Amino acid sequence: MSKLSFRARQLDASKHMPVLKADEIPDVPDFTAINRAVPQMPTGMEKEEESEHHLQRALCAQQAFGSAQRLVIPIPDIEDVGESYEKLYVKKSRDFKQPKQYIHVQPFGMDHEIPDYDMDSEDEQWLTKQVLGISALKFENMMDRLEKGSGQTVVSLQDAKALLKEDDDLTIAVYDYWLNKRLRLQHPLIPSVKTEKRDGSTTSNPYVAFRRRTEKMQTRKVL
Amino acid sequence: MANDKPEIAEGHRVPVKLKSTGEWHWAEVLSTRELDGTNLYYVHFDDFNKRLDEWVQEDQMDLAQLETAKKETKPAPFKLLNGSRPSSPERDVATPHLKGAPQVRKRKTPAPGEECPVSILFPNVSDSQDVPDQKIPRQTGSMVAHHDDIVTRMKNINMIELGRYRVKPWYFSPYPQEMAASLSVIFICEFCLKYMKSRKCLERHLAKCPLNHPPGNEIYRKGNISFFEIDGRKNKAYAQNLCLFAKLFLDHKTLYYDTDPFLFYVMCELDSSGYHIQGYFSKEKESSEDYNVACILTLPPHQRKGYGKLLIEFSYELSKIEGKTGSPEKPLSDLGLLSYRSYWSQTLLDILIHLKPQENGEKPTININEISEMTSIKKEDVISTLQHLQLINYYKGQYIITITSEAMETQDKAMAKRKVRIDPKCLHWQPKDWSKRGKW
d(CA A128, CA A136): 10
CB atoms within 10 A of CB B294: 19
The reported pLDDT for the residue numbered B138 is: 29
For residue B427, the 8-state DSSP code is B
What are the residues facing B267 on neighbouring strands?
B227, B279
The amino acid present at A48, given as its one-letter code, is: E
A40 interfaces chain B, CB cutoff of 8 Å: yes
Residue A4 contacts residue A37 (beta carbons within 8 Å): yes
The amino acid present at B160, given as its one-letter code, is: I
d(CA B380, CA B352): 17
Report the run of H or E that residue B118 belongs to, with start and end. helix B118-121
pLDDT tens digits, one per residue of B296-326: 999 999 998 999 999 999 999 999 999 999 9
- DSSP letter string, B262-292: EEEEEEEEEETTEEEEEEEEEEESS-TT-EE
Q: What is the ipTM of this complex?
A: 0.86
pLDDT in tens, chain B (440 residues): 445 667 889 999 999 998 888 899 999 999 999 888 999 999 999 999 999 999 999 999 999 999 987 655 554 443 332 333 333 332 222 223 233 333 222 223 333 333 322 222 222 322 222 333 322 232 333 433 345 678 888 999 999 999 999 999 999 999 998 898 767 899 999 999 999 999 999 999 999 998 999 999 999 999 999 999 999 999 999 999 999 999 999 988 888 888 999 999 999 999 988 999 999 999 999 999 999 999 999 999 999 899 999 999 999 999 999 999 999 998 898 889 889 999 999 999 999 999 998 888 888 999 999 999 999 999 999 998 998 888 888 888 888 899 988 899 999 999 999 999 999 999 999 999 888 765 55
Cis-peptide into B89, omega within 30 deg: no
pLDDT tens digits, one per residue of A168-184: 999 999 999 999 999 99
In angstroms, how far is CA B24 from the centroid of its own chain? Answer: 28
Comparing C-alpha atoms, which of A37, A97, A44, A142 is closest to residue B394?
A37
Q: Which of B113, B202, B401 sits opposite A88 (nearest CB)?
A: B202
Comparing C-alpha atoms, which of B334, B122, B338 is closest to residue B249?
B334
Angle at A101 between CA A97 and CA A107, to 5 degrees: 90
The reported pLDDT for the residue numbered A71 is: 60
Interface mutation vs chain B, best among A24, A27, A92, A93, most B CBs within 10 Å: A92
CB atoms within 10 A of CB B323: 9
Q: Which of A9, A67, A207 sits opposite B177 (nearest CB)?
A: A207
pLDDT tens digits, one per residue of A102-161: 999 877 665 567 899 999 999 999 999 988 889 999 999 999 999 999 977 889 999 999
Residue of A nearest to B199 (CA): A120
d(CA B400, CA A8): 12
pLDDT tens digits, one per residue of B384-400: 899 888 888 888 888 88
- The percentage of residues in chain B with a pLDDT greater than 70, rounded to a whole number, is 80
B chain contacts of residue A106, beta-carbon cutoff 8 Å: none
The reported pLDDT for the residue numbered B141 is: 38
Q: Could B215 and A109 be called an inter-chain contact, meaning their C-beta atoms sit closer than 8 Å?
A: yes
CB atoms within 10 A of CB A62: 19
Q: Is A69 a residue whose pLDDT tops 80?
A: no
Instruction: Summarize the confidence of residues A159-166 as an average pLDDT.
Output: 91
Residue of B nearest to A185 (CA): B178
pLDDT averaged over chain A?
81
pLDDT band at A211 (very low <50, low <70, confident <90, very high): confident
B56: left (phi over 0), alpha (psi -120 to 50) or beta: beta
Higher pLDDT, B339 or A212: B339
Buried b / exposed e along B366-392 (16+ C-beta atoms within 10 A):
bbbbebbeebbbbbbbbbbbbbbbbbb
The reported pLDDT for the residue numbered B277 is: 98
Higher pLDDT, A26 or B102: A26
pTM: 0.83
The reported pLDDT for the residue numbered B73 is: 52
Interface mutation vs chain A, best among B400, B432, B439, B440, most A CBs within 10 Å: B400
Q: For residue B437, what are the contacts with CB-CB under 8 A and spacing of at least 6? A: none
What are the residues facing B231 on neighbouring strands?
B263
Beta strand B398-403 with A17-21 is parallel
The amino acid present at A76, given as its one-letter code, is: P
Residue A117 contacts residue A144 (beta carbons within 8 Å): yes
**φ, ψ dihedrals at B176, nearest 5°:** -50, 135
The reported pLDDT for the residue numbered B435 is: 81
The reported pLDDT for the residue numbered A134 is: 92
Residue B202 contacts residue A89 (beta carbons within 8 Å): no
Q: Could B258 and A211 be called an inter-chain contact, meaning their C-beta atoms sit closer than 8 Å?
A: yes
Residue of B nearest to A106 (CA): B216
d(CA B47, CA A53): 5
**A31-35, A170-174, A219-223, B145-149, range with greatest mean pLDDT:** A170-174
Q: Which domains does chain B have, with CATH numbers?
A: 13-65 (2.30.30.140)
Residue of B nearest to A210 (CA): B258
Q: Is A165 a residue whose pLDDT tops 70?
A: yes
CB-based burial label for B426 (10 Å; 0-12, 13-18, 19+) = middle
Q: What is the 3-state secondary structure of chain A?
A: CCCCCCCCCCCCCCCCEEEEEHHHCCCCHHHHHHCCCCCCCCCCCCHHHHCCHHHHHHHHHHHHHCCCCCCCCCCCCEEECHHHHHHHCHHHHHHCCCCCCCCCCCCCCCCCCCCCCCCCHHHHHHHHHCCCCCCHHHHHHHHHHHHHHCCCCCCCHHHHHHHHCCCHHHHHHHHHHHHHHHHHHCCCCCCCCECCCCCCCCCCCCCECCECCCCCCCCECCC
d(CA B251, CA B170): 8
Higher pLDDT, A89 or A28: A89
The reported pLDDT for the residue numbered B82 is: 30
Comparing C-alpha atoms, which of B249, B284, B304 is closest to residue B432?
B284
Q: Which of A19, A45, A124 sits opposite B334 (nearest CB)?
A: A45
In angstroms, how far is CA B360 from the centroid of its own chain? Answer: 47
The amino acid present at B183, given as its one-letter code, is: L
Please report the number of interchain residue pairs, chain A to chain B, with beta-carbon separation below 8 angstroms.
Answer: 383
What length is written for chain B? 440
The reported pLDDT for the residue numbered B389 is: 87
